[in-house]
Amino acid sequence: MRRLTTLVALTLTATLSAGFTLAEPPDPSLASLSTERRLQLGAALSKPEWPVDPLLYDTLTTHFNTVVPESELKWMWVHPERDVYDFTLADAMVEWAEMNGFDIRGGPLIWHQSLPPWITEGDWTRSELIAVMRDHIHTVVGRYRGRISQWDVVNEAFEPNGTVYVGEHSVWGRVIGPEFIDLAFKFAHEADPDAELYLNDYGAEALNAKSDGIYHFAKGMVERGVPIDGFGMQMHTPLPFPDPHEVAKNMARFGALKLKVAYTEMDVRIEHPDTSLVPPSPYWLNWQAHAYRMLTDVCVAAPNCDTIIMWGVTDLHSWVPHQHPGYGWAHLWDKQYQPKPAFYAVRDSLLYTPTRGAG
């Protein structure tokens, strides 16, 4: 009897452990899963931690197939004076990325921020400013022709009500008018006809007045024959996060225009001081993971979404607390480079979401 009990116990243990072994998902790299799905999974690279932090190097090379210079291609950095271009840092990042086998996304080419004073304080006529813009875009895009595969051409050009911002804070809209957008795309296409060109913005991920306005403007660009390839949703998101069904519908309407979509600057911030020695509670970390899972699922399942860029890799180096005091903890790895629930959520999305176009 005792032998029988022992046998039953042993069988049960074997069955259970076999069951647990099977239930444990494999732990492949996000990069290999993304590459299998033909997805560009990228991360923003930023000074000063790049390229000196060895853990960042390992995480980037294991889990990402694409990188984006976080600021080093912005106007202020590459074109500080009217007659001075400085590509020292941008070249270093691009060469490093190529050496390590990454695809590279660049931009923004035209934005009302990160501009040097010679642009913002200049007393421009419309035609002068168009000539300056043309020279800048031709020089920057031309320098990396065939090496940078996607550009954010125009960034944050729309008001919350969906119209193009032509107020005093944007030298482009104020001096040139809304046509600066078409012109910027035209110049970028002249400089690299093979690069994919994106209009990029925030707060326009779900369905709202802003995303409606951008959609109608993009439709107009397509009708006017402007060389636009896609719309970039920045996806800097607080909790609660944008409704995934609405994001999917938004993606689909751009798809109907034969335009792509991308998440270009994804992070999911938590209201918990970055300086706190205690991490956010499991409630917040799981909610954050849920946001990453649901939103990644939407892109992976959409036939016209093939790019997700994370605006940072680890909570150790993050732009979030600077921009949103009181918030942080927004990325897939914690400050010790331990994967968070959000990492496993993205991994599971890449593992289990039905094949693109089928979901």
Binding site for ligand XIL (CB under 6 A): 70-71, 108, 155, 234, 265, 319
- Closest separation in Å from C-beta 28 to ligand XIL: 29
Angstrom distance (rounded) from CA 269 to CA 331: 8
Nearer to ligand XIL, 47 or 290 (CB): 47
Q: DSSP strand E in 202-336: where?
A: 230-233, 236-237, 260-268, 270-271, 305-310, 327-328
The minimum distance between CB 336 and ligand XIL, in angstroms, equals: 22
* Pairing of the two strands 150-155 and 230-233: unpaired
Angle, alpha carbons 195-151-331 (nearest 5°): 130
Phi, psi of 34 (to 5 degrees): -70, -45
- Sign for the CA dihedral angle at 356, 151, 201, 87 comes to positive
Q: Round to whole Å and give the CA distance between 290 and 286.
A: 6
Spatial neighbors of 8 by CB under 8 A, at least 6 apart, are none
269 or 293: whose CB is closer to ligand XIL? 269
Closest CB 319 distance from ligand XIL, rounded Å = 4
DSSP string, 306-326: EEEEES-SBTTS-SHHHHSTT
Q: Catalytic residue numbers?
A: 156, 265
Q: Minimal distance in Å, beta carbon 335 to ligand XIL?
A: 18
Do residues 219 and 257 make contact, with C-beta atoms less than 8 angstroms apart? Answer: yes
Given a contact cutoff of 8 angstroms between Cβ atoms, the answer to whether 69 and 45 are in contact is: yes
Q: Give the Cα separation of 309 and 111 in Å (integer).
A: 19
Two structure tokens written together for 226: 């402007």
Specify whether the CB–CB gap between 155 and 201 falls below 8 A.
yes
| CB nearer to ligand XIL: pick between 234 and 307 | 234
Nearer Cβ to ligand XIL (15/114):
114
Helix, strand or coil, per DSSP, at residue 158: strand
DSSP 254-275: HHHTT-EEEEEEEEE-EES-TT
- Output the smallest distance, CB 144 to ligand XIL, in A: 17
Q: Which is nearer to ligand XIL, 199 or 301 (CB)?
A: 199
CB nearer to ligand XIL: give 70 or 182: 70
Shortest distance (Å) from residue 187 CB to ligand XIL: 19
